[in-house]
Amino acid sequence: MTFVVNASHHRAKRWLLLVAATLVMILGVAAITLAALVTDSGTHDLTVPNKNESTGLVDIGNASVEYIGSSANNQASGTGLFDPFVRLQGSPTEKGYNTDGAVAFDTKSGTWTHAIKVNAIPVVDCDGDGAGTATCWELFVDINDSNTAKRISLNEVEIWFTTNANLVGFVDPTGFPSGATKEYDFSGALLINDVNQGSGRGDLRYLVPTADHTWNADTYFVLYSKWGTTPPTQAAEFGTGGWTSDGGFEEWKVRKTPSVSILKTANPVGPVAAGDNIGFDITVTNSGVAEATNVVITDNLPAGAGNDLNWSLNPSFSGCSISGAIGSQVLTCTFASLAAGASIGPIHITSDTTAADCALVTNTGTVTTGNDGGGSSTANVSIQCGALVIHKQSTKSGNPLVSTAGAVFAVDGPDAGATADFSVTDDTSAAAPDEDADIGEVCVTGLAPGTYTVNETTPPSGYGGASQTDVQVTVVNGSTCATAAAAAAVFTNPPLGEIEVKFRDLGSGETAASIVCKLGTTTLSPVSENGTPDPAFDDTDEVFTSLAPGTYDCQIIVDP
């Protein structure tokens, strides 16, 4: 069954899909998966009278073709602009395909015939003027018929996908028996009057829609073509003679394009201690064979966990600037062009940090160009803080941790300020600022590395004040409550008690007592029940309180 479709290629594709679906329903075929195949056919006149004219894009169904007159389009010549991937040479007909394996039919071996990835085929707007949304692979043919026998026909074009760079075994007319899938098929006649002289030109432009095809970075693009089989009686507007190949070569090729990429790296690589500077380097490289134009780098700079990162270019870089408020800054770089094989950068951006920024900082930069799309690159750096640990110990033998919470400490950070940066109370909640739930242990995390000075301002209940003052401890980058415990600030406090001595007159009213207690040579001052000093011979109890561990001597004098 043959269907002749004479419509725009978008409408034709929808019509063909509808016909295919209808045939499946009629035949009762189910669960059959077919490779995507786009087909074109028919005879299409691409002849022009001379090199001052071009056909413009001619719709042949799904694909479009154009014969380009060299003078009409100021068409440049030279292999520096194109990458040939298959060359055929034969007479009166010729055929062949590209591979890294052994060439077949009329394919010529050499640098002009090789495997090529699908990703290496340039993708352009199918409308040819940049206004459309559909995309097509752009292929060119350098046609080299003689100046006296200019007419030639292109009769078959097949595109196959494979993962084998050395694919061989094509059978005419059925194609590859295995190892490849056919993606596109033209069968008919494209009638060409090759008015251009010399080689190195893209005489014929062939646009094949990329829609309905699936590929990845490992997929190779194999193109089979056949020339010169149109009967000599086939009419055409211009030219004389038949449509056969006269022995000159026909060479399929793609336009050489730039290949622009961006690389972002952390500098320094980190981890970085809070309080030190972080930075990133940006380098844009054109590894292609053509100049890239209108190169634009855009980078939404990270605000940091503390929303305080303040970015700058260091050193300054021509074409680059940073705009926006702290927390929402943007790096923008604009360059008119980037030569093939050249690079821009490294462009270094930097920011200082604080303890509020302790986290992983991630940054993505993007590049766009006027003629090669673009790309992005992401880098990250870890801003690390440390932990400060304080041990509150008893002066008892073995220095156990104190048994009551509530000790308060003043902490002065590495900024060497005159006043304490913060205070922390020993508690059992495990919530900041004391993130250690144990009594007698304090841990504060998220601190910038450096040397801190710690003082106890309030001892815990039931203990005397610590003898230590201005205890220094180093907060190490990346340390935690567990790892910092070995380098803790230690304060020792004596547990406190009291002595109570009672004297009571038994009824005579004639006796009184004097009670004196000493610690070594130091005489203790008693207090009354209301906390005031208790005078001697008052016929009441004597209480000596807030006593640290030690040996106490008490003398009682009863005086009638």
Query: What are the tens digits of pLDDT across the range 393-430?
Result: 999 889 999 999 999 999 988 764 445 688 999 999 88
Q: What are the helix (H) ranges across 470-526?
A: 481-484
Q: In this structure, what are the phi and psi dihedrals at residue 325, rounded to the nearest 5 degrees?
A: -80, 160
Average pLDDT of the residues in 522-548: 71
d(CA 314, CA 396): 57
Mean pLDDT taken over the chain:
86
| Domain containing residue 485: CATH number | 2.60.40.10
Q: Are residues 13 and 54 in the same domain?
A: no
Same domain, 233 and 312: no
Q: Label residue 549 exposed, middle or buried (CB < 10 Å: 0-12, 13-18, 19+).
A: middle
For residue 18, what is the enclosing H or E element?
helix 9-27
pLDDT of 70 strictly over 80: yes
Instruction: Give CA separation, 264 vs 267, 278, 281, in Å.
Output: 9, 13, 6
User: Does an H or E element contain 21, and which?
Assistant: helix 9-27
The answer on 142 and 57 residing in a single domain is yes
Instruction: Please compute the mean of the pLDDT values over residues 23-41 and round it to a whole number.
Output: 54
Both 375 and 413 in a single domain? no
Among the listed residues 405, 413, 408, the one whose alpha carbon sits nearest the alpha carbon of residue 386: 413
User: Both 88 and 211 in a single domain?
Assistant: yes
**Distance, CA of 90 to CA of 257 (rounded, Å):** 30
Neighbours of 235 (CB within 10 A): 7
Domain boundary among 360, 383, 406: 383
Per the model's pLDDT, the better-predicted residue between 115 and 31 turns out to be 115
SS3 206: strand
Q: How confident is the model at residue 9 (pLDDT cuts 50, 70, 90)?
A: very low
403 with 368, same domain?
Answer: no
Query: What is the DSSP pairing of strand 181-193 with strand 38-45?
Result: parallel
Q: Does residue 107 sit in the same domain as residue 227? A: yes
Q: What is the CATH number of the domain that holds 329?
A: 2.60.40.1530
Query: Are 106 and 225 within 8 A, CB to CB?
Result: no
Q: Which residues contact 441 (CB under 8 A, 6 or more apart)?
A: 389, 390, 391, 392, 401, 426, 485
Residue of 83 and 418 predicted with greater confidence: 83
Look up tokens 């640098």; give the residue.
111
User: Is residue 37 pLDDT above 90, yes or no?
Assistant: yes
Confidence label for 557 from pLDDT (cuts 50, 70 and 90)? confident
Sequential DSSP letters for 287-310: -SSS-EEEEEEEEE---TTTT---
If you average pLDDT over residues 244-270, what whole number do you get? 91
pLDDT number for residue 282: 98
Amino acid found at 20: A
Per-residue pLDDT band at 536 (split at 50, 70, 90): low
User: Are residues 305 and 264 part of one domain?
Assistant: yes
Q: Same domain for 136 and 193?
A: yes
Domain boundary among 317, 350, 383: 383
**What number is the average pLDDT over the span 223-244?**
88
Contact 396, 549 (CB under 8 A): yes
Contact status, residue 293 vs residue 337, Cβ threshold 8 Å = yes
Query: What is the structure's pLDDT at 507?
Result: 85
pLDDT score of 356: 84
Give the CA angle between residues 515, 518, 522 to the nearest 5°: 130
Residues 147 and 75 in one domain: yes
Residues 403 and 533 in one domain: no
H/E stretch holding 322: strand 320-323
Report the amino acid identity of residue 47.
T
CA atoms within 13 A on the CB side of 519: 13
What range defines the domain where residue 354 resides? Answer: 260-383
Q: Which amino acid is at 80?
A: G
Q: Is 9 helix (H, G, I), strand (E, B) or coil?
A: helix
Residue 545, pLDDT above cutoff 50? yes
pLDDT per position as a tens digit, 169-191: 999 999 999 999 999 999 999 99
- Are residue 410 and residue 348 in the same domain, yes or no? no
Total domain count for the chain? 5
Q: Of 201, 227, 255, at which residue does a domain stop?
A: 255
**Single-letter amino acid code for the residue at 76:** A
Strand pairing report for 552-559 and 512-519: antiparallel
